[in-house]
Amino acid sequence: EAEVAQSPRYKITEKSQAVAFWCDPISGHATLYWYRQILGQGPELLVQFQDESVVDDSQLPKDRFSAERLKGVDSTLKIQPAELGDSAMYLCASSAGLRETDTQYFGPGTRLTVL
Amino acid sequence: AQKITQTQPGMFVQEKEAVTLDCTYDTSDQSYGLFWYKQPSSGEMIFLIYQGSYDEQNATEGRYSLNFQKARKSANLVISASQLGDSAMYFCAIVCRGSNYKLTFGKGTLLTVNP
């Protein structure tokens, strides 16, 4: 069964360091999403790609976060410098397209701890 | 803006019994999709069931069914014959064109199944 891959699964870093997360969506899925989930809350969208183009990055803190999907397949999310408040679960999801009927499938997530 | 409200922070159910998790939503879009996800302690978001706004019949997937009442803007999840492995966080979410098809999640309900 096709799955969304993410790495690393866990990341511990010190504040002011740079971190990067990788996501490989389900093959053929045009739409890729990065969500952040703070403990005790539901996930919130950081950035959304359709192929290699950004559809929505309105909630991405652009002073420290960047995201790319250069070839329209896998994607990287970077934080530089990391802050204590960035400790969270970072979830990647993909869907076949941009319709309300398209199910988003999630990867296992990256649990980030900033010390 | 879209909004999901889950009013039950926690629920308890005995093994083999049925349980209903509540979800109400708010959107100005006429066309939308409603989703339920399960999140075990491992952190992965697992898709359970989908209901489209124009679907006349309630969705069912195995032991999961969705009680969709459009006029009341509710989309409650019913889990029949609960199993110990059903213990997890459950999130209701909505997707619509007005939000660029991102998932807007509620705060979740923590379900505990007792033996």
DSSP character string of chain A: ----EEE-SEEEE-TT--EEEEEE--TT--EEEEEEE-TTS--EEEEEEETTEEEE-TTS-TTTEEEE-TTSS-EEEEESS--GGG-EEEEEEEESSSSTT---EE---EEEEE-
Measured distance CA(B97)–CA(A80) in Å, rounded = 32
Q: What's the pLDDT at B1?
A: 84
pLDDT at A52: 94
Asked whether the predicted pLDDT for residue A1 surpasses 80, the reply is no
Q: What is the pLDDT of residues A38-93, one digit of tens each?
A: 999 999 999 999 999 999 999 999 999 999 998 989 999 999 999 999 999 999 99
Per-residue pLDDT tens over the stretch B70-103: 999 999 999 999 999 999 999 999 999 888 899 9
Contact B47 A42 (CB under 8 A): no
- Show the low-confidence residues of chain B (pLDDT under 70): none
In 3D space, the residue among A23, A29, A24 whose CA is nearest the CA of residue A103 turns out to be: A29
Facing residue for A108 by CB, picked from B37, B43, B102: B43
Of A42, A89, A102, the CB nearest to B107: A42
Contacts of B56 (CB under 8 A, 6+ apart): none
**B25 lies within 8 A of chain A by CB:** no
**A81 preceded by cis ω (within 30°)?**
yes
Chain B residue with minimum CA distance to A5: B44
- Read off the pLDDT band of A12 (50, 70, 90): very high
Which residues in chain A are contacts of B95 at CB distance < 8 A? 100, 102, 104
Residues of A in contact with B50 (CB under 8 A): 101, 103
Residue in this structure with the two tokens 């349980």, named with its chain if needed: B19
In this prediction, residue A91 carries a pLDDT of 98
Q: Lowest mean pLDDT of A16-25, A73-82, A94-103, B103-112, name the range.
A: A94-103
